[in-house]
Amino acid sequence: MLENLVDNIAQESAFRHINPATKLILCLGSLVICLVSPSPVVPLISGVVLSIVLIVPARVSPVLYGELLLGPAIFTIISVVVLVFLVGGGDVLWQFNPVPWVNLTITVGSLHEGLLVLCRVFGCSVSLFFIALTTPMTDLFDGMKRIGIPIEIIDLMMIIYRYIFIVYNQAVEIWHAQVMRLGYSRPMEAIRSSAMLCGMLFISSWNAGEDLIHAMDCRCYNGIIPSLEQAEPMQMRSLIPVLLYLAGLSGILLVVITRVVVLS
């Protein structure tokens, strides 16, 4: 239900009316700054500020937002734990030798590296969530056309987007029908049922594809899928805070970089 959920949140977001280019500038700008920062402070600040912006003025439910962050969080924490033991450098903080040929060490360098990766992932994920939770997919197609992405790819994306929900709903329906008749009660049964689900889904998608051509023909298809003009022009009211925020973040980044250079 997640993709449905994210799209629905975006549809109802209080920031939906803001021009998508403005939101993209914020998203990509903070993404780049988080990536180049040598210190965990900058991505941490960016992540926290954007999260607050998402929850308070954009009115994304904090519980839902937390659930969404949980996905990347679990993945990142596991990776960071491994990273902390793999990377070396600096004084040894903690050492563990369970057997002679296994040496687990945590050093100052590895800890710093782990913290940096954790904060970077947090900052970058929040940047991406910002665009995903405030801008429905449908608002982005027009922008893609403007920046010169081939129209064939955009048309395909639009049709795929339209059909994600149809195929997904169909899968849910088939799955319910199987569960109701105890299709997943035993392991062997579950394997057979899921194979059947995939097969059914393939056949029905194939039919839906044929019907799609049919429906397009009925309506004089001549190679054009019309685009949805962006209703909201770029407004200074939203662009200026975005630019100010990015400038501030860049300023912090600059201070951090000079400190790193001076220290070394």
Partner 1 sequence: MNIILEARNIRYRYPQSLEAIKGISFHIRRGEKIALVGPNGAGKSTLLQMFNGMIRPDSGTMLFDKEPIRYDTSSLRQLRKRVGYVLQNPDRQIIAPTVYQDVAFGPANLGYDEQAIQQAVALALRRVGLKGFERRPPHQLSGGEKKRVALAGVLAMDPDMLVFDEPTTGLDPSGSEDVMELLDELNHEGKTVIISTHDVELAYPWADRAILLLDGRILQEGVPDVAFGNPDYVRMAHLSVPTLLEVSQELGRRGFAQPERKPRSVLDMIHIIEHLLNRSCSTSRPGTISVCDVDRGWDTPLATWVSARQNLAVGAMGTSAKQRASQEHLTLDFTYGVIDKCILRALRGQDSLILTNSSMAGRVVTRVEAYCQESGTAISVIPLNTTNQSPK
Residues in 143-162 that interact with partner 1 by CB under 8 A: 158-159, 161-162
Taking a C-beta distance cutoff of 8 angstroms, is the pair 42, 259 a contact?
no
Q: Is 224 in the site for partner 1 (CB under 8 A)?
A: yes
Q: Can you name the residues that pair with 94 across neighbouring β-strands?
A: 106
3-class SS of residue 32: helix
Q: Is 223 in the site for partner 1 (CB under 8 A)?
A: yes
Taking a C-beta distance cutoff of 8 angstroms, is the pair 53, 244 a contact?
no
Q: Is 214 in the site for partner 1 (CB under 8 A)?
A: yes
Min separation Cβ 223 and partner 1, Å: 8
Residues 6+ apart with CB under 8 A from 118: 40, 76, 77, 80
Min separation Cβ 156 and partner 1, Å: 12
Which of 80, 216 has the CB closer to partner 1?
216
> Given the rule CB under 8 A, which of 37-45, 96-104, 137-145, 171-179 is the region that contacts partner 1?
137-145
Which of 29, 136 has the CB closer to partner 1?
136
> Given the rule CB under 8 A, which of 51-59, 221-229, 237-245, 254-262 is the region that contacts partner 1?
221-229
Residues 6+ apart with CB under 8 A from 72: 121, 125
Taking a C-beta distance cutoff of 8 angstroms, is the pair 79, 90 a contact?
no
Residue in 6, 80, 115, 138 binding partner 1, rule: CB under 8 A: 138
- Alpha carbons 34 and 119: distance in angstroms, whole number: 8
The footprint of partner 1 on this chain (CB under 8 A) covers a number of residues equal to: 34
Min separation Cβ 242 and partner 1, Å: 22
Q: Is 231 in the site for partner 1 (CB under 8 A)?
A: yes
Q: Where are the alpha helices (DSSP H) in the chain?
A: 2-12, 20-36, 41-55, 62-86, 108-134, 137-146, 151-180, 187-218, 236-263
State residue 94 phi and psi, 5-degree precision: -155, 135
Q: Is 11 in the site for partner 1 (CB under 8 A)?
A: yes
- Alpha carbons 250 and 37: distance in angstroms, whole number: 9
Q: Is 220 in the site for partner 1 (CB under 8 A)?
A: yes
Residues in 155-194 that interact with partner 1 by CB under 8 A: 158-159, 161-162, 165-166, 169
DSSP 95: E
Residue ranges that bind partner 1, judged by CB under 8 A: 4, 7-8, 11, 136-138, 141, 158-159, 161-162, 165-166, 169, 208, 211-212, 214-228, 231
